[in-house]
Each structure stands twice: as structure tokens, then as C-alpha cells.
Chain A
Amino acid sequence: MKVKDTQTAVPLQTQQPSGEDTKGLLRELVAHLRQNRTQLREEWARRITQAQLLTAMTEEEIFAEATSVYDNYVEALETGTFEALQAYARNLSERIIPRGVETHEVIGIVLLLRDVLARSLFAKYHEDFTKLNRILDSYEPAANRIANTVAVGFVQERERIIRQQQEAIRELSTPVLQVRERLLILPIIGVIDPQRARQLTEQLLRAIRTNRAKVVVIDITGVAAMDSNVANHLVQTVEASRLLGATVIVTGLSPEIAQTLVTIGVDLSEMATVGDLQGGIEEAERLLGYKVLALAEPAAPSQPA
């Protein structure tokens, strides 16, 4: 049965208090939380330490953060707006993520606070069951939303950092270096996926153009494994560079990679390969018409130029 008049009777479950009523109750709730601020805050900090959350932080830090979170929490309950809390959660995440605080810890502490406050409400209203019920009806949705906001803020911050780092790694991972007039080297380190292969090729082609390179040495000593896809990307890169008039020498194929490529039958006959980077650079210098001569050699007399 549905009871519309909340003044006379309150159903025990699933009831939506009217706006006026909720506001009044929330006000009462907030007043209670403000009154018992010190005690509840301490209780919360104690519970956090007990649960061994936030172990990366000192006790004083936990207490200081707990105070700010508590105040923000009460404010969010009072005003019903979550912007300030959201901003605080983001700011908090920014500070604590680098210190190794995990997602479960952040969600854990917010749920603990929720628990601590709910218990204090039980203690306060245990004699008036109807009132307690109504208070909880106003408290629960707001508390859930707060927990949600904090968790989402934390995860978002985390994802933002991950994205930023991925970007940074991508930028760092593909330097195209000029070692001599018209000679570039491209050391590849790590895993090559299609996206990275594409980016590598584009970067190399642009560098060939801007540096007017004639020879490029691609060193893959730092590539641990290679499958047919990666090999094909490499062949494409070599072919595209040739279209721009540059010769490509690939160096540093490890014994494992050489075996894999032969076993899976990738055709690298179009590619010039040299054992190591030094050999590759020497070959490139030969192609460019350089000759390196030692001008002075301490042990043995050098050949006249």
C-alpha cells in the first residue's frame, strides 16, 4: 500500500520522501555531523589505520586528508552539489596516485566514512526507528552519490595519467637521429604494434625529407621478438623510404629473430641487412662515399691517406 502522507506514516522500504522533508532531514543530519566532527573524524581515521588502508601515507597525513574529506563530504551533503567534492577528489587523486595509493584504498576509505557516519546515526536515533529510517532515506542516496563521485574522480585521474604516459612513451620511443650529412639512424626499442609501426614510418619519411637523407640505418637490436606482421611493416618502411630515394640498411637482427623469420618464411631479400649497428654505419658511409681514416694511432703507424 502506498502512503502519500509522510507526516502520519512512513513505509519501511522504498519510499521517496518529499523534497521539503528531505531537506529538513538533511539539515538535521548535517547539524549532527558538524557537532560530532572531531569525534567522528577521529573514529574514521582510526578505522582507516585499522583496516591498513593508505599505508603509503603517514598517520598525520591520513588525519589531515580525513579532515578535508570529511568537511567536503558534509558540505556535499548539505548543498547537494558535487562540483566542489569532484574538484577535491581530482585534486586528492593527483596528489596521492604518484605515492602508490590504489583504487581499492580510495573506495575503501570512502565506504568506511559512510559506515562510520551511518553507525553514528544508528546510535543517535536508535530509539526512534521511524525517524532513523527517514534519515537514512535521505542519507543513503547522497552518500552513494558521494562515494560514486570520489571513485569516478579517482579512476578518471588515473586514466588521464595513463594516457599521458602512453603519449610520452610514444613520443620518446622513436627518435630519428642524424649521424652524418645525409645519414640517419633509427634505433627501434621495444614492441612494435601496427600503430607504432605506422608512426615510425611516417616519422622516418618526414625526417628523410627534411634532412635530405640518402641512407638510413634502422637498428632493431632492441626489438625482442618479431612476427610476420612486424616484418611486413619493416619491408613496407624500407620500400617507402626507397620511393623517397633513400637506401635502408637494417642492422641488429638477433639470432632468434633471424631464425623466426626464416622459419615462418618472411621474404627479406629486398632488404639490405648488416650484423650490427657499427657495420651498418660503416656500410652507409661507404655508400655515401665517406672513408674513415685514423689520423694518429699510438701503437701502429697508420696508412698514409
Chain B
Amino acid sequence: MEVPILKQGHYLIASIQSALTDADLSQLREALIARVGKYRARGVIVDVTALDVMDSFAVRTLRDIAHMARLRGSETVIVGIQPEVAFAMVQLGLSLKGIATALDLEEGLAFLDAKARERA
């Protein structure tokens, strides 16, 4: 299933709606990185609220997205990780060190706005 990527001002919002296969995740990564350049996005938000499982591949893909987007001049924030998912992730040792996280979409947007103000 393809993940819709919305453009909202200077930001791109990828809202994951259902469980994704590895191929879907790779496709999401490529699409996001391509569009960061195309729309000259300042920030990327990946909303994972709908995911109740997060495996190592998903975590690695999210990390890759963040690092790649940073190389292309855009800040990434992961929003909406469920409490159970967060707990499972730390137990499995899957970390998102160095990558911004926020409670939900609203918080994510606020975080990116604060970042933009810092830069200005």
C-alpha cells in the first residue's frame, strides 16, 4: 500500500495508514527523499500512529529517512509512536537516537516551527 505524502507549507507529511511491508517502506523512503528536493521542504513528518507493531526494518527505514533528509537540508520528526510500541522498541533495543520524536502531528509541526525560528 502506498503511503500518501502531503505537502503542508514548507513541510512534508507522510501519514502511514496501515501495516506496511518492507517494500512499501523502501518505496516510502525513496518517495520522501525525492520530494524533499522537489518541494524544497524544510521539514518531514512521519506519522506512525496507525502502527501497532514496529520491527527492526521499519525502525531502520525511519532512521535512514531522517539521515537522508538531513543530508538534503530537511529536519525529520517521527510522531505518534504508541506507548506499547515504544515499550517494545526499547526492550528490543531498537532506538531512534538522534532523531526527533513527538507525541502527535500537532506537536511535530510545533517542533518544526520552533526549529525554523531557530534558523531564522
Query: A residues near B, CB below 8 A?
Result: 201-202, 205-206, 208-209, 212, 214, 236-237, 239-246, 270
18 A-B interface contacts by CB (under 8 A) = A201-B87, A202-B87, A205-B86, A236-B90, A237-B90, A240-B83, A240-B90, A241-B86, A242-B101, A243-B81, A243-B96, A243-B101, A244-B83, A244-B86, A244-B103, A245-B107, A245-B111, A270-B97
Complex interface: chain B residues within 8 A of A237 (CB)? 90
Categorize the interface residue count of chain B.
10 to 19
Decide: B90 and A243 in contact? CB cutoff 8 A: yes
Pair B83/A202 contact, Cβ less than 8 Å? yes
For residues 73 through 89 of chain B, which have their beta carbon under 8 Å from a beta carbon of chain A? 78-79, 81, 83-87, 89
CB-based nearest A residue for B81: A243
B8 at the interface (CB under 8 A from A): no
Nearest Cβ in chain B — how far from A250, in angstroms? Answer: 16
In the complex, are the beta carbons of B83 and A205 less than 8 A apart?
Answer: yes
* Total contacts A-B at CB 8 Å: 49
Residue of A nearest to B111 (CB): A245
The answer to the question of B102 belonging to the interface, with a C-beta cut-off of 8 Å to chain A, is yes
Residues of chain B from 97 to 120 with CB closer than 8 A to chain A in the complex: 97, 101-103, 107, 111
Q: Tell me the complex Cα distance, A8–B120, Å.
A: 113
Q: Which residues of A contact B17 (CB under 8 A)?
A: none
List the B side residues contacting A246 at CB < 8 Å. Answer: 103
Query: Which of A212, A214, A240, A245 is close to B87, meaning CB atoms less than 8 Å apart?
Result: A240
Contact yes or no, A239 B103, CB < 8 A: no
10 pairs of A and B residues whose beta carbons are closest in the complex: A205-B83, A245-B102, A243-B86, A245-B103, A240-B86, A236-B90, A240-B90, A239-B90, A243-B81, A245-B101
How many whole Å from A102's CB to the nearest CB in chain B? 42
Residues on A with C-beta less than 8 A from B21 are none
Q: Which residues does chain A contribute within 8 Å of B56, judged by CB atoms?
A: none
B95 to chain A, nearest CB (A): 6
Least Cβ–Cβ distance between A264 and chain B, in angstroms: 20
Known contacts A205-B87, A240-B86; 12 further A-B pairs (Cβ under 8 A): A202-B83, A205-B84, A205-B86, A208-B83, A212-B107, A236-B90, A239-B90, A239-B95, A242-B101, A244-B86, A245-B79, A245-B111
